[in-house]
A and B are shown apart, each in its own frame.
Chain A
């Protein structure tokens, strides 16, 4: 019950929906950067939303299924083959024992997700299987995957084969609504992919630390992702955001989406691996429904921001959850 990593690509980690309930102890949340794609991958093969998946970056992985498995690919699309035969993204697939999956370079987008039925069965830490790269905790040995790593799976090959038979039987009566699933509201595609994505944001807890002009500029300027982007944060470059009296504050709790502005006036959007607290003034918080899109942008791409109030932000989160629920209900 395992899969073997032949080539992980530039950065591949085990992630679920993150480590919740222990931020007060200093644990970073971590979890899939594009959690919509991770949830969708799990949903397509009958997993729980929080089962552990592999998150790749730009390219990969190349793996060998040591035992048979049911799997699905989502997120940034790339050419993928199973034993040399092309396989689609956004569909449940069956890998016989010994078969090789090769995922190439993403045509656009940044992060792809591979879910395996039953989940990647590494030991949980504080209730989560997510890898904390900064603290070397959780996931697979607290680190990014390397060639030769053998990851445990929760299901035997026999169980996977039986599950696949069951999926196929149900598909005969009720074919997979492929188009709905593929284009079905991936937040990043909805924003136009590589065109100028508009990230919605709520005014941050220190919005008043900024000049009124800075708050105008934030939603009228265009910001580019710098090469200094990773799972911890996206550092952006664009029009300077000036504070009234400096950007240092007494450290307070931050969330995924918090937009910190450091001394140079440039915004930093925190992603899944952010520290639990931060000491820079936060002009805004990107709403949770738009974070999956941000996680798919590459360095050099441009973004813009738009203000929304907390009520509209909550409504957007609920619409996104409802969309996944609809996709689930349309599945056989």
Chain B
């Protein structure tokens, strides 16, 4: 699909690279994002990548839609064929089950699998980060094993601890900060993913790999991270 450009009021341009959640479309978005950032176009304030689109926010005092569209169109045409190799793979240690993941048993039962098999299947993929949103650092990940698809909780929790790893429908992810939420919680990472004074350890286009750890390892890492 050709990348299509749309105005977003007087301060945004939306470049739509596809219509589905797909690695190839994600690659186009990531590549276009990199190209737009590298081009340092006058008046561009920031970019927001999503599943299949890139929002380019601009300052209307310094540029306008037509000028920006004329600059973004050739970038989009050039990035069309380019494969996105790489991005970082960030490993996130997770203590599964127990108080760390109160819904592991439910997810296992729903999938007709043992808890061990759920953990094995959840830690197998390198999940692609399509976008961050909902909360600072909350990654929307692609690549969850369909056997683990689980409906959200009927009654969302009012407080989910920071670091919780869960499944919501066809997606998996990690809560970087404490929040209300309706996802099924499988476990928790002791890593402090969000800290006000340092950048996030990952960005859209990167991959996340979960690895299982024991409660003793969790406590040791949590002490080191200061998240206890």
Contact = CB atoms under 8 A, between A and B. Distances in A.
A277 B48 contact: yes
B52 A202 contact: no
Contact of A26 (B132, B196, B199): B132
A25 B203 contact: yes
Interface string A114-150: 0000000000011000000001110000000000000
Contacts of B48: 23-24, 253, 276-277
Contacts of A316: 10
A287 interface: yes
A254 B131 CA distance: 13
A288 B10 contact: yes
A253 B12 contact: yes
Given A137-B177, A252-B50, A288-B11, 5 more contacts: A22-B46, A202-B9, A253-B57, A276-B133, A285-B9
A185 interface: no
A20 B49 CA distance: 15
A225 to B, nearest CB: 20
The 8 closest A-B pairs by CB, nearest first: A253-B55, A285-B9, A313-B10, A253-B48, A205-B6, A310-B65, A277-B133, A317-B60
16 contacts: A22-B46, A22-B136, A26-B133, A137-B177, A205-B8, A250-B51, A251-B131, A251-B133, A252-B50, A253-B50, A258-B9, A286-B9, A310-B66, A311-B66, A313-B60, A314-B65
B211 interface: no
B203 to A, nearest CB: 7
B204 interface: yes
Contacts of B137: 25-26
A27 to B, nearest CB: 5
B77 interface: no
Given A205-B16, A311-B66, A24 B49 contact: yes
A122 to B, nearest CB: 12
Contacts of B203: 24-25
A21 interface: yes
Contacts of A257: 9
A298 B7 CA distance: 29
B213 to A, nearest CB: 25
A24 B10 contact: no
A331 interface: no
B223 to A, nearest CB: 24
A199 B203 CA distance: 36
A24 B7 contact: no
A252 B64 contact: no
Interface string A1-44: 00000000000000000001111111100000000000000000
A27 B54 CA distance: 16
Interface of B: 6-12, 14, 16, 19-21, 33, 45-55, 57, 60-61, 64-66, 131-138, 140, 177, 179, 196, 199-200, 203-204
A250 B21 contact: yes
A26 B56 CA distance: 15
Nearest to A126: B196
A160 interface: no
A205 B14 contact: yes
Contacts of B33: 24
A70 B50 CA distance: 44
Given A24-B49, A318-B60, A255 B9 contact: yes
A289 B60 CA distance: 10
A310 B133 CA distance: 27
Interface centre among B45, B46, B51, B136, by most chain A C-beta atoms within 10 angstroms, is B136
Contacts of A252: 14, 16, 50-53, 55
Interface string A193-225: 000000001111100000000000000000000
Contacts of A310: 7, 9-10, 64-66
B61 A24 contact: no
